[in-house]
Amino acid sequence: MGHSMKRKEDNRFLQGKGNYVDDIKLPGMLHMDIVRSPYAYAKIKSINTEEALKVPGVVAAVTGKDLEQYNLHWMPTLMSDTQMVLPTDTVMYQAQEVVAIIATDRYAARDGKEKVIVEYEPMKPVMDPHKALDADAPVLRTDKEGKTDNHIWHWEVGDKEKTAEVFNNADIVVKEQMHIPRIHVASIETCGCVASYDKVDNHLTMYMTTQAPHAIRTVIALVAGHVGLTEEKVRVISPDIGGGFGGKVPVYPGYVIAIAVSFLTGAPIKWVEDRSENLQADSFARDYHITAEMAGTKEGKILATRFKVLADHGYTDASANPSKFPTGLFSIGTGSYDYGTAFMEADAVYTNKPPGGVAYRCSFRVTEAVHAIERMTDRFALEVGKDPATLRFENFIKKDQFPWKSPTGWEYDSGDYHAGLQKAMDHLDYWSLRKEQEEKRKRGELMGIGISTFTEIVGAGPSKDFDILGIKMFDSAEIRVHPTGKAIARFGTKSQGQGHETTYAQIIAEELGIPAEHIQIEEGDTDTAPYGLGTYASRSTPTAGAAAAIAARKLREKAKKIAAHLLEVSEDDLEWEPGKFYVKGAPGKAKTIQEIVFAAYTNHPQGMEAGFEATHYYDPPNLTFPSGAYICVVDIDNETAEIKVRRFVAIDDCGHIINPMIVQGQVHGGLTQGIAPAMYEELIYDEEGNILNGTLMDYLVPTAVESPSWETGHTVTPSPHHPIGAKGVGESPTVGAPPAIANAIVDALSPYGVTHLDIPITPFKVWKVMKEKGILGGKPV
């Protein structure tokens, strides 16, 4: 623990030996390409595949009508809504799948796709979620019997009346409308699969870019059990994955079509998306319109918050959330501050946009919540005329107030918010920066400093509240130690770059004293790994990491019994130090773990079960609550409005750190995925429903030039309930960085009456505000 061990998985990636889904080639494999809708909302009048089938190499064309015969044209979403696999009569968003072309190679499939003729009758789409509930808005989900509007669900938490009362009586109330834009994970590997159904054995092997292979297997069995694909006949293999970030949690229509076609033909079917298909049709993230309010005293004490959300879900709610949490963990939005009153509500609507609601490196809508609370904290500080750092110090939940009950019902496990912010400020010499800013303002130069001191909520989750499609959100580890003292361990999670092969080995090494190099880690094959819910929402270390520690501790208990037997002493006389048991007071009288394991196979005590294996399914007693203190310094060109992030320091607290190198790497990466939506990324649609930036030429993923040189550090406040005190970290930076950047930019412009800007904050957006405020070219304050 605490050692920056180099990653065990790196060698294969570095030498071109990674095994990603598009690298899989099976004998007789056919390729699938998909014809997509050019319209956001249209009736399908006819589909003609005649010419397509004449293209050399094309073997089949599949439409919604074909799937309808097997009742496979619709599928359930994770949120118990329904989604088309292929449409039979209506398309609901641009780039929706319409016809699948199967061919002997991908070039032929592409040629076949070109020849498909689909006749559409376009209709006026609903693109603005604010208008989706208007009386004259067309009802989009006419497939749902009795549906009379585009409302999906209403959700609320907190005390509405009490909150209203506090707001009515408060000295100060601040309010902003904000939009957390629709964005896309854009992992560098797109999504894909090879579905391989063996007609002789009636067995499906599904190689698939999925973050949750076990859940997928169950879903396949539930959906296709009636045609013989019962769960023991389905094997899902998640090979190496080129980045997930939540985008590889959902089941996309392409996967289902591939399975259906393989099932019918007996041939393996490969489907790998193009980038534009990935950006235009796969699950989006965010898209929350938030009315955020904060009430407080004129001295700067926060008293209450009230958030009202309008959630644009596209044409179906295909969010990847735990079942009971339609807004995910948005209710963490009271943040790191000590106040007792809050009310939050949300309404979700259908529009003619692609479905989704996935993470983008975020634990279930925490980013939206953190953006709202951190923006409003700065807004409030501005209103009361206090430095935002000072105001935060005065409102933080104090270290000794943990465990702390939030007004929305969470129990924060631990934290030391003062220490984190102080460390970040000391590193930057915060008050000198404020002085520099004061000087610059006198000269009309624009410099801003933004803070974000967020609380995350990860490690879903305790079985009493957390499930996906009814399956509780535990996770698992199985450790098998071979006679010579080397081990293999398998998990229900699935790394997409997080370094599980190293981190898990380190946890087991720490608990058992077997060197991490001698512990092989496997994930992603449902035939061999124990059942688990997968990797997303920063849950792997909090759940499977805990399972690894506990399974190892079970083995240590067994080791103790064997050691006592071998040393002919009582168990009570033994002491453990990593790697061996020794007799108290006689350190020379000892048995190493290797000797003990060998004995488990060769000389185990009578009555004891032979072998050296343990499995644990870990059901966390609570979530973990990592936190962070981020400070961003920006300079804005007062003519072009170009924004330069000069400094960015991130102090994270994720409890005990297993591998500092990997944790830091996660933070770096998450920060770049934080600056991305803050300054660059947004999926943009016109009124007709056309996506305006559906390729990487216009969907602006930051390069090494846009990404600043991150400065990172940590404080360590262990989780009291996690077996090794760890909390999870992968998403903290993506959650915490956007408000720090937005706060910095707004701070630069605040002397001129700017109180809020929606992300992504682009030079164009800033320039317009500067023009409106008459400060182009610089206006001394």
Partner 1 sequence: MKKNITITVNGTAHTAEVEPRLLLVHFIRENLKMTGTHIGCDTSSCGACTVLMNGKSIKSCTVLAVQANGKEIKTVEGLAPQGEMHPLQEGFKENHGLHCGFCTPGMLMRACELLEKNPSPTEEEIRWGISGNLCRCTGYNNIVRAIQWAGAKMRGEETPSSEPEFV
Partner 2 sequence: MIPAHFTYEAPSSLDEALALLEQHGDEAKILAGGHSLLPMMKLRFAQPETLIDINGIPGLSYIKEEDGFLKIGAMTRESDLEDSSIIKSKYPIFTDASKLIADPQVRNMGTIGGNIAHGDAANDHPAVMLALRAQVEITGKESSRMVPIDEFFFGFYMTACQWNEIVTAIHIPVPSAGSGNAYHKLERKVGDYATAGAAVALAVDGSGTVTYAGIGLTNVNSTPLRAARSEEALLGKKLTDETIAQAAQYASEDCNPSADLRGDEEYKRAMVGVLVKRMIHKAAERAMD
- As annotated, the active-site residues are 211, 361-362, 731
**Residue 362 burial (C-beta neighbours within 10 Å; 0-12, 13-18, 19+):** buried
Q: Please spell the DSSP secondary structure of 114-125, one letter per residue.
A: HH-EEEEEE---
Could you tell which of partner 2, partner 1, none binds residue 168, using a CB distance below 5 to 8 A set by kind?
none
- Give the nearest distance from C-beta 743 to partner 1 in angstroms: 20
Q: Is 776 in the site for partner 2 (CB under 8 A)?
A: yes
Lay out the sheet containing 90-91: strands in order across. Answer: 90-91, 42-48, 117-122
Could you tell which of partner 1, partner 2, none binds residue 684, using a CB distance below 5 to 8 A set by kind?
partner 2
DSSP 759: S
List the one residue out of 376, 449, 514 whose CA is nearest residue 649. Answer: 449
d(CA 22, CA 25): 8
Span of 77-85, 209-217, 354-362, 696-704 interacting with partner 2 by CB under 8 A: 696-704
Contacts with partner 1, 103-142, as mask; x by CB under 8 A:
--xxx-----------------------------------
- How do beta strands 356-358 and 284-296 pair? parallel
Q: Is 670 in the site for partner 1 (CB under 8 A)?
A: yes
Applying CB under 8 A, the site for partner 2 has a residue count of 29
d(CA 300, CA 290): 23
Could you tell which of partner 1, partner 2, none binds residue 13, using a CB distance below 5 to 8 A set by kind?
partner 1
* Distances in whole angstroms, Cα of residue 380 to Cα of each of 292, 446, 760: 11, 21, 22
Q: Which residues neighbour 609 within 8 Å (Cβ) at sequence distance 6 or greater?
A: none
Positions 100 through 139 that interact with partner 2 (CB under 8 A): 106-107, 110-111, 114
SS3 270: strand
Span of 319-327, 375-383, 451-459, 702-710 interacting with partner 2 by CB under 8 A: 702-710
- Give the nearest distance from C-beta 116 to partner 2 in angstroms: 13
Phi and psi at 82, nearest 5°, equal -125, 145
Q: Is 642 in the site for partner 2 (CB under 8 A)?
A: yes
- Give the nearest distance from C-beta 2 to partner 1 in angstroms: 12
Span of 345-353, 512-520, 566-574, 702-710 interacting with partner 1 by CB under 8 A: 702-710
Residue in 26, 384, 700, 716 binding partner 2, rule: CB under 8 A: 700
Positions 653 through 692 that interact with partner 2 (CB under 8 A): 680, 684, 692
Q: Which residues neighbour 762 within 8 Å (Cβ) at sequence distance 6 or greater?
A: 679, 680
- Give the nearest distance from C-beta 702 to partner 1 in angstroms: 8
Positions 356 through 415 that interact with partner 1 (CB under 8 A): none
**Tokens 């305790």 sit on residue:** 462
C-beta closer to partner 1: residue 41 or 699: 699
**Tokens 């693109």 sit on residue:** 127
- Give the nearest distance from C-beta 287 to partner 2 in angstroms: 18
- Give the nearest distance from C-beta 723 to partner 1 in angstroms: 25
**Tokens 């190499």 sit on residue:** 57
Nearest 10 degrees: CA dihedral of 724, 729, 310, 342? 50
d(CA 307, CA 288): 11
Positions 8 through 27 that interact with partner 1 (CB under 8 A): 9-20, 22-23, 25
Residue 675: how many CA atoms within 13 Å on its side-chain side?
28
- Give the nearest distance from C-beta 25 to partner 1 in angstroms: 7
Q: Is 275 in the site for partner 1 (CB under 8 A)?
A: yes
Neighbours of 322 (CB within 10 A): 23
d(CA 478, CA 622): 22
Contacts with partner 1, 230-259, as mask; x by CB under 8 A:
----------xxxx-x--------------
Could you tell which of partner 2, partner 1, none binds residue 70, using a CB distance below 5 to 8 A set by kind?
none
d(CA 453, CA 236): 40
C-beta closer to partner 2: residue 134 or 698: 698
Could you tell which of partner 2, partner 1, none binds residue 22, using a CB distance below 5 to 8 A set by kind?
partner 1
Q: Is 703 in the site for partner 2 (CB under 8 A)?
A: yes
**Residue 577 burial (C-beta neighbours within 10 Å; 0-12, 13-18, 19+):** exposed
C-beta closer to partner 1: residue 8 or 591: 8
Could you tell which of partner 1, partner 2, none binds residue 462, using a CB distance below 5 to 8 A set by kind?
none
Positions 639 through 668 that interact with partner 1 (CB under 8 A): 649, 651, 660-662, 664-668
Neighbours of 333 (CB within 10 A): 29
**Tokens 């190293």 sit on residue:** 502
C-beta closer to partner 1: residue 11 or 177: 11
Positions 713 through 772 that interact with partner 1 (CB under 8 A): 713-714
**Which helix or strand (DSSP H or E) is residue 743 part of?**
helix 732-749
Span of 44-52, 168-176, 379-387, 689-697 interacting with partner 1 by CB under 8 A: 689-697
Beta bridge partners of residue 305, listed in sequence order: 294, 342
Residue in 138, 483, 702, 720 binding partner 2, rule: CB under 8 A: 702
Distance spanning both ends of the chain, measured CA to CA: 52
d(CA 28, CA 213): 25
Contacts with partner 1, 172-191, as mask; x by CB under 8 A:
-------------xxxxxx-
Structure tokens at 688: 């007709």
CA 193 to chain centre: 21
C-beta closer to partner 2: residue 557 or 639: 639
Neighbours of 747 (CB within 10 A): 24
Contacts with partner 2, 704-743, as mask; x by CB under 8 A:
-xx-------------------------------------
Could you tell which of partner 1, partner 2, none binds residue 579, using a CB distance below 5 to 8 A set by kind?
none
Sign of the Cα torsion 371, 377, 378, 380 reads positive
Positions 744 through 773 that interact with partner 2 (CB under 8 A): 762-764, 767-768, 771
d(CA 341, CA 22): 51
Structure tokens at 444: 């009309």
User: For the chain, what's the residue count?
Assistant: 781
C-beta closer to partner 1: residue 81 or 416: 416
C-beta closer to partner 1: residue 356 or 694: 694
List the one residue out of 227, 636, 209, 290 whose CA is nearest residue 449. Answer: 636
**Which helix or strand (DSSP H or E) is residue 310 part of?**
strand 302-312
Could you tell which of partner 1, partner 2, none binds residue 570, using a CB distance below 5 to 8 A set by kind?
none
Structure tokens at 627: 């936190």
Span of 77-85, 213-221, 541-549, 634-642 interacting with partner 2 by CB under 8 A: 634-642
Structure tokens at 361: 């490196």
Q: Which residues neighbour 25 within 8 Å (Cβ) at sequence distance 6 or greater?
A: none
List the one residue out of 105, 745, 728 whose CA is nearest residue 366. Answer: 728
Applying CB under 8 A, the site for partner 1 has a residue count of 71
Q: Is 282 in the site for partner 2 (CB under 8 A)?
A: no
C-beta closer to partner 1: residue 245 or 396: 245
Could you tell which of partner 1, partner 2, none binds residue 356, using a CB distance below 5 to 8 A set by kind?
none
Could you tell which of partner 2, partner 1, none binds residue 243, using a CB distance below 5 to 8 A set by kind?
partner 1
C-beta closer to partner 2: residue 112 or 250: 112
Q: Is 38 in the site for partner 2 (CB under 8 A)?
A: no
- Give the nearest distance from C-beta 705 to partner 1 in angstroms: 5
Q: Which residues bind partner 2 (CB under 8 A)?
A: 106-107, 110-111, 114, 274-276, 639-640, 642, 680, 684, 692-693, 697-698, 700, 702-703, 705-706, 762-764, 767-768, 771, 776
